[in-house]
């Protein structure tokens, strides 16, 4: 299991530190970002986090600038 998956559901509340299981709401922002809204049952604090994903694009082949 990757490090990212093994930490899912173990986010502490930003206010009281209680363990949060899953976001209340998630929003697709674009191909590289997802925003989550979290709400703590213990202290009712709400906050957002943003997950940034690596680009899936592979670098193109750049032609050599050397002239033979």
Domain ranges in the chain are 10-52
- Dist CA 53 CA 33 (whole Å): 6
The predicted pLDDT at position 63 comes to 55
pTM higher than 0.75: no
pLDDT more than 70, % of the chain: 68
Question: Cα–Cα–Cα angle for 21, 24, 27, nearest 5°?
Answer: 120
Residues 34-59 have a mean pLDDT of: 89
Half-sphere exposure at residue 24, Cβ-oriented, CA atoms within 13 angstroms:
11
In tens, the pLDDT along 5-25 reads: 555 557 899 999 999 999 999
């Amino acid at each position: 299991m990757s490090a990212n998956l093994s930490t899912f559901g173990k986010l502490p509340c930003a206010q009281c530190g209680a363990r949060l299981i899953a976001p209340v709401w998630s929003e697709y922002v674009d191909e590289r970002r997802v925003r989550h809204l979290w709400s703590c049952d213990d202290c009712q604090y709400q906050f957002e986090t943003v997950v940034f994903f690596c680009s899936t694009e592979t670098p193109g082949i750049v032609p050599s600038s050397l002239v033979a």
